[in-house]
Amino acid sequence: MRLADAHCHLLDSAFSADLAEVVERAKRAGVVYMVSSTLSVAEAMRHASMAGELMEAGVFWSIGLDPRLYSREAEEVEELARKFSHSIAAIGEVGLDFKMARGVEEREVQRRVFSDFISLAMELKKPIVVHSRWSQKAVLDLLEEHRADLVLLHAYTGSSSDVERAAKLGYLISVSTSVTRHAGTRRVAAEAPLECLVLESDSPALAPVAGERNEPANIAVAAAEVARIRGVEAAVVSEAAFENTVGLYSLPMSLLSSSRALDT
């Protein structure tokens, strides 16, 4: 099976001691591509210094920002996205987190910054990877308002009507490796049209087993579980998700025959 991890965080400190081994395990599990999101200026600068080496190993860069840093780092991340536009596969993850932002003013700041990132993604002609905790409808409203078209809804757990709306808008709907244990993720896995479905690990979070460190290799676990839920072969799910991921991010098919693990 050909597999792709549509969203992970490989520069997280959880992988500081064994990144090469993590990538190698993913390769052995059949994961050809990993799209790793940075969430701060510091992470972005680190990825920029490693971008060529990571890309050779099949790890591509999505430049994003933790909502907790919106007021401090948004402008600098936007500048870096423009500077490294030739290297990045996407903008994100960015979005709204209404679990984190409870007040009206906090939520308005998030809406404003998210709107700026949507505009930036459209300016750079890049996909946008969207965070939407407790804010699924608000996220869809803003994306539709901006007429965004290249959209991945990361680790999506929206309602059935949200899933239907996202699919009609042509957005990709990402099912995480926690599909083994999370009821909302399992429902989305059953409802999302196959032409809209991708798989992600969100490593190091959302592991198939609660409390464990997650890795991109677990995409194989997610593919098998989504297939079981849908009553199809795992290869059907993995191939559809793979093609959807490659198409969204415009990933180079040449890596299918030349991909290698990270040497460092």
Domain limits, the chain = 3-253
CA-to-CA distance for 153 and 174, rounded, in angstroms?
6
CA-to-CA distance for 112 and 241, rounded, in angstroms?
31
Q: Determine the pLDDT at residue 256.
A: 67
For domain 3-253, give the fold: TIM Barrel (3.20.20)
Residue 59 host element (H or E): strand 59-63
Structure tokens at 129: 């990877």
CA-to-CA distance for 60 and 58, rounded, in angstroms?
6
pTM: 0.96
Residues of the chain with pLDDT under 70: 255-264
Residue ranges of the alpha helices (H) in 99-233?
Answer: 104-124, 136-146, 160-168, 183-191, 219-230
Count the neighbouring beta carbons within 10 Å of the beta carbon of residue 68.
13
Q: How many Cα neighbours within 13 Å face the side chain of 81?
A: 33
CA-to-CA distance for 130 and 196, rounded, in angstroms?
15
Q: Determine the pLDDT at residue 264.
A: 44
